[in-house]
């Protein structure tokens, strides 16, 4: 009688342990996401990890990148490559021009002479490179985590540039909303359903701009004219989605920086002229227009759904 | 034995209930710079009005006032950010999140 009771007790303990294990597996670790919000490099950094333990410090790594970029005297090779591939539509030497217009600050409409001087100054400005490069840093740090359990999945949002890593769970893809450039700051126009590691970068005229005498001046400049880009009339934003195939094959992570620079080049060039560049760097893209038109490039409609 | 079985079943239920209780639950509400707030507060000169589960920035010394223009934040995931003053106001929710991030 006593032996039987012991057996049952042992069985019960094992069942409880198993149930608790299953509960933990599905409800807690590693599937409960952990989110933190920070400021880095003048932007908001939101990190969500589907793991218990993160050894790397993405914020610190981004701050190191910022120091590196601020002290840089030469544009990174990748930036020069994109400048050439985009026929100069992306240009890392617009520093003086950005300061002259000062869309973030004084909001000044310069004269033709001042613009020409600023273009000739060829001052380095890596504004259209930094946030994307920061997403590459996030990929490096996240995949370096060799602890147990390894990072199962992550979403890093760095000032609107998104980096998704691996997966949340094997049955849940990432859902990344796209902000509506024609709506308010909390309005979205659609959702990307993504599996695996991707970078999403948006360049648009809707976030940073000012108005003078009824004319809107935004912050993405055409390197040919020195004025806010307007080659594709009505274009308000370009969102570029890139993968991390190169990194997964053992190379450097460049998808984030490429996406950031290519989206800027696409915004300057407009839809027609960008198709070749997008194909060259295996990017998908969404061009959004003032009247609500959306023009997809590549396979984006396979994972994008409008609201 | 019958009585023992019942006891064991009860013990099992109690343990399962305990495990459910110990589950981490994302507390909802208004968060400013990662800290939960229950009433209106002023942080780094940014005035935040909290009304139940919703919040808004009513005043800020920053130039562009993007945080003020964000208006009422009432859905989980809504955020108002004041970069110059380094303030983030967000609504966190117990409800299942619909998206994992917002691009753009």
The residue behind tokens 């966190």 is B92
Q: At what angle are helices A255-269 and A77-85 packed, to 10 degrees? A: 30
Nearest C-alpha in B relative to A181 = B104
What's the CA gap between A299 and A303, in Å, rounded?
8
> Could you tell me which chain B residue has the CA closest to the CA of A156?
B101
Domain boundaries A33-306, CATH class = alpha beta
The rounded percent of chain A whose pLDDT value lies above 70 is 93
pLDDT tens for each residue of B28-44? 789 998 888 988 999 99
Whether chain B has a CB inside 8 Å of the CB on A265: the answer is no
A246-303 residue pLDDT tens = 888 888 899 999 999 999 999 999 999 999 999 999 999 999 999 999 999 999 999 9
pLDDT digits (tens, 9 = 90+) for A192-251: 999 999 999 999 999 899 999 999 999 999 999 999 999 999 999 999 999 998 888 888
Q: Which of A5, A175, A178 sits opposite B104 (nearest CB)?
A: A178
Partner A contacted by B18 (CB < 8 A): no
Chain A within 8 Å of B66 (Cβ-Cβ)? yes
CA–centroid distance for A298 within its chain: 18
- More confidently predicted of B31 and B94: B31
Restricting to A residues 130-189, those with a Cβ less than 8 Å away from any Cβ of B are 155, 157, 160-162, 164, 168, 174-179, 181, 184-186, 188
B104 and A237 in contact by Cβ < 8 A? Answer: yes
Count of CB atoms situated within 10 Å of the CB of A176: 26
b (16+ CB within 10 A) / e for B69-83: ebeebeebbbbbbbb
pTM for the full predicted model: 0.82
Complex ipTM more than 0.90, yes or no: no
Q: Write the pLDDT tens digit of every residue in A38-87.
A: 888 888 898 888 876 665 688 899 999 999 999 999 999 999 999 999 99
Q: What share of chain B is helix, strand, coil (3-state, %, to 5)?
A: 25, 35, 40
Helix (H) or strand (E) holding A265: helix A255-269
Among the partner residues A23, A177, A191, nearest to B19 by beta-carbon distance: A23
- Gap from A40 CA to chain B (nearest CA, Å): 10
The rounded distance, in Å, linking the Cα atoms of A55 and B71 is 37
Chain A CB contacts of B88 under 8 Å are: 37, 44
> Residue A185: its chain B contacts at CB < 8 A?
66, 69-70, 80
What's residue B21's pLDDT? 58
Residue ranges per domain, chain A? 1-30, 33-306
Closest residue in chain B to residue A35, using alpha carbons only:
B34
**Angle CA(A145)–CA(A147)–CA(A152) in degrees, nearest 5?**
65
Q: What is the DSSP string of A201-237?
A: EEEESSSSEEEETTEEEES-B-TTTSSBP-SSTTEEE
What are the tokens at A52? 């218990």
């Amino acid at each position: 009688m006593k032996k039987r009771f012991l057996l049952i007790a042992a069985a019960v303990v094992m069942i409880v342990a198993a149930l608790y294990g299953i509960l933990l597996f599905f409800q807690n670790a590693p599937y409960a996401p952990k989110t933190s919000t920070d400021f880095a490099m003048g932007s908001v950094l939101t990190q969500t990890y589907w793991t218990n333990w993160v050894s790397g410090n993405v914020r610190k790594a981004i701050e190191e990148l910022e120091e590196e970029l601020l002290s840089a005297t030469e544009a990174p090779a990748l930036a020069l490559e994109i400048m050439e591939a985009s026929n100069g539509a992306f240009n890392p030497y617009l520093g003086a021009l950005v300061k002259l217009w000062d869309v973030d600050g004084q909001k000044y409409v310069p004269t033709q002479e001042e613009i020409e001087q600023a273009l000739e100054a060829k001052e380095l400005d890596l504004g259209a490179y930094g946030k994307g490069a920061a997403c590459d840093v996030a990929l490096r740090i996240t995949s370096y985590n060799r602890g147990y359990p390894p990072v199962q999945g992550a979403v890093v949002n760095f000032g609107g540039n998104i980096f998704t890593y691996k997966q949340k769970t094997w049955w849940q893809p990432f859902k990344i909303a796209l902000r509506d450039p024609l709506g308010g700051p909390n309005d979205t126009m659609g959702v990307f359903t993504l599996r695996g590691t991707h970078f999403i970068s948006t360049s648009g005229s809707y976030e940073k701009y000012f108005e003078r005498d009824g004319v809107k001046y935004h912050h993405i400049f055409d390197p040919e004219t020195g004025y806010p880009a307007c080659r594709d009339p009505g274009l308000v934003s370009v969102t570029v989605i890139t993968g991390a195939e190169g990194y997964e094959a053992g190379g450097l992570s460049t998808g984030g920086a490429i996406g950031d620079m290519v989206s800027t080049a696409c915004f300057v060039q407009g839809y027609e002229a960008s198709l070749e560049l997008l194909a060259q760097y295996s990017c998908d893209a969404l061009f959004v227009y003032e009247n609500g038109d959306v023009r997809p490039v590549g396979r984006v409609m396979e994972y994008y759904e409008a609201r | 034995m019958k009585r023992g079985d019942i006891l064991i079943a009860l013990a099992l239920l109690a343990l399962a209930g305990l495990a459910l209780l110990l589950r981490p639950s994302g507390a909802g509400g208004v968060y400013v710079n990662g800290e939960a707030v229950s009433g209106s507060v002023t942080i780094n000169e940014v005035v935040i009005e909290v009304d139940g589960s919703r919040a808004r920035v009513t005043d800020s010394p920053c130039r562009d006032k993007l945080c003020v223009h964000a208006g009422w934040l009432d859905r989980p995931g809504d955020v108002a950010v004041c970069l110059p003053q380094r303030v983030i106001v967000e609504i966190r929710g117990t409800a299942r999140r619909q998206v994992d991030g917002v691009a753009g």
